[in-house]
Amino acid sequence: MYKRQVVIILFGLTLIAVLAAKDMLKGLIGGMFGLMLGSIGTDAVFSTPRATFGLLELYDGLPLVPVLIGLFAVSEALVMLEERFAVPPPEQTRAAQWKDTLEGLAIAARNWWQIVWTSFIGLIVGVIPGAGAYIAAFVAYQQSRLFSKTPALYGTGHPPGVIAPESANNGVTSGTLVPTMAIGIPGGSTAAVMMIVLQYQGITLGPRLFQEQPNIAFGVFVMMTVAYIMMIPLVLPMARYASRVVAVPVHTIVPLILGLTIIGAFADREYVFDMVLALVFGVIGYIAIRTNYNVTSILIGVLLGPIFERYLLRSLRIGQGDIMVLFSSPIANALWVLLVASVVLPIWRERRLARASA
């Protein structure tokens, strides 16, 4: 199991190289900086503290919620302070209308195949215990860009680049229920919370659940289907109103953003330390944006670095230090082939296009 997770995490880490294609040096520096930050905390084998500076809050590693909030929300708020409006006034003249919402639905309908196959990526990743939504989103984005005819448009609001990680993120939620309900091992954080709640109600998860209480086992899947269907009439009408937030002056909206995001950083673990950490990573993200370093590469390193280290070390311990243990499973070997193909194919395609243009 661990060796498969190692390969799947490597799929997500290869996204650093994809993002670094525009500026290879800065992209790789950002990714390595993220991997270095991800090593903060106790190591996976001997629980020896690394770069914690004596702070007990860092012994479990960097908390993901404050890091995510700092790198993306706080840093963008600091960038917005340099402008008067988030969107230039000429573009605010026309208020969002129902046809804009319908246009978004039409875009989703035109990219239905993109939704389907990236959702299956999320489903497959979710079935593997411990992988989670982060890895699924990164893998789906990387694979979507790999097979796209216009990979240069990714990162500019290109619809397939937005659809791929979101579809995988939704697909992984259903996938995590498979190991949770079938063998009692949570596939991700959402499934772990669900498992705790069900066990609190006296429900024992595992194969016997489908034999003794099938109404509960299958009822969970039915309720998830109903929830997805109900999101359409409840969420879509709010889209046209949510877009009006761009017309609010920056000096009004930035304090609100900072206040809500800092509260969100505190709410995860209820540590004041996390609030300070979000501000620190906000400054790091702001400096990265202004110096043209890729913030997403940093985040990928922070998120996937510790997970990769943990599963790699576990695999090596099972194989008694033999690196060939990573190639001892047919499924893992198939994933290795796909990983090599996902790295080699973009290079081959770029060289082919260069020769054709020449």
What pLDDT is stored for residue 84 in this prediction?
65
Q: DSSP character for 204?
A: P
What pLDDT is stored for residue 340 in this prediction?
78
| Rounded CA separation 274/114 (Å) | 37
Mean pLDDT in consecutive groups of 10 residues from the start of the chain, 358 residues: 67 64 72 84 78 82 84 84 63 61 81 87 74 73 78 77 84 78 67 70 75 79 82 77 72 83 84 88 89 80 78 77 75 77 71 72
Helix (H) or strand (E) holding 22: none
What pLDDT is stored for residue 1 in this prediction?
57
What pLDDT is stored for residue 187 in this prediction?
61
CB 254 within 8 A of CB 80: yes
CA 264, 269, 273: angle at the middle one, nearest 5? Answer: 80
What pLDDT is stored for residue 67 in this prediction?
86
Nearest by Cα to 340 from 14, 9, 3:
14
Alpha helix locations (H) across the chain?
Answer: 2-19, 24-38, 64-68, 75-80, 98-110, 112-127, 132-146, 159-183, 189-200, 207-212, 214-242, 250-269, 272-290, 295-318, 330-357
